[in-house]
Amino acid sequence: MEVSSSGTASSDGFTPTSLNSNGFGKNPNTKDQGPNRRNDAPGFTRPAAQLPSQSYRPWWHLPDRSTNEGSASNAQVKQGRREFASNSGKFAGDAPGAKGERPFYLSSGNAYLPATSSSSSGIQIVDDRLGKIVGGNEMSYGSFPWQAEIEGFSATQRRWKHHCGGALISQWHVLTAAHCIRARPKEYLLVKLGEHRLDSSDSHEETYKVASMVHHTNHRANGPYSDDIGVLKLDREVEFNGFIKPICLPQSDDQYVPGTVCTVTGWGLQNDKDSTSLSKTLLGAKVPVISSEICKQDAVYGKRSQKILEGMMCAGYLDGGIDACGGDSGGPLSCKINGRYVLLGLVSWGDGCARRDRPGVYVKVSHYLDWIMKSVDSL
């Protein structure tokens, strides 16, 4: 599923007053260390997708079959089914100000992550006024500047291939799904920011090696996609611009309001039955948050071997047609709350792609805030 995007440029940028060597707000009680400035990332060639054979497949992109309302329309979810109200200029389910707000920087020892107050993280260079979700459209370059592309090196084919998505959260760190990185050494991964087309170089595209990485120690302890979260530290500091910016982390569970309309983005498969249908341009689709109560119903995922756990959330449509799919894993579920995009989820798994009663299942980022803090401190 592809979505067009148009709008005006924004001059806002992420400008914290002080940054430490990890790219977060500097803690005055700790000694700053100089960043690694290596920039000799290797070249690469582009991939053909390899689709996992199991029914529960890691997700990467968006099949298309819809004529949803677009920019200013409300998508109201009633028991997870699509119902569209008249245009009001605001998405139904947009959360009010969260309770128990954290400050601009979420602190953890010597690292601080951007939250949603007072910063310009989570602000697009291109407005999010998406047109109707129809086949054949793509995202405008720079519309989701925190989107990362993760490439993996194929030892058998001796080339770099599209592997997963990710979300930039600081000048040094990218969040992704644990299943994207758990079986690969860091030397076999590259991260690209400012990426739009996979078959050519983009004007603001930057390539980074992975200096270090970690995934949740309980990943796969309660099913193949339990605790499906990981962090990558890049080999050099990211210079933010209109096409490369971090996304805000959620402040609390109060922002997970069923019906909140979010955007899932990636370069994954457009047809889960065609392993050659990897998109060459960044695609996106609007999907509403679905309550965990609905997602746990027997008719949805209640009877599946992989249960919906506390660190998971669902988004999409129970009547199918719009979804993430193979190749989008680890990519952001970006939700506009109080005028700013917040990373509510990471693409994780699902039963097929865009199937009826099988919405997308995402990592619930707010559940892992403490883990994220400890992890970036350790890298």
Please name the residue that has the structure tokens 């107050």.
117
Q: Across the strands, what pairs with 223?
A: 221
Closest CA to 55 of 301, 220, 289: 301
Burial of 8 (0-12, 13-18, 19+ CB in 10 A): exposed
H helical segments located in the chain: 178-181, 292-295, 369-378
Rounded to whole angstroms, the Cα distance separating 262 from 341 reads 9
Catalytic annotation, pick one of 66, 143, 292, 329: 329
Let me know the angle formed at the C-alpha of 360 by 358 and 363, rounded to the nearest 5 degrees. Answer: 135
Rounded to whole angstroms, the Cα distance separating 113 from 248 reads 8
Is 179 one of the catalytic residues? yes
Rounded to whole angstroms, the Cα distance separating 142 from 241 reads 10
Contacts of 297 (CB under 8 A, 6+ apart): none
Is 329 one of the catalytic residues? yes
Contacts of 22 (CB under 8 A, 6+ apart): 110, 111, 170, 171, 172, 173, 233, 376, 379
Is 228 one of the catalytic residues? yes
Catalytic annotation, pick one of 64, 128, 227, 228: 228
Contact 87, 69 (CB under 8 A): yes
Catalytic residue set = 179, 228, 329
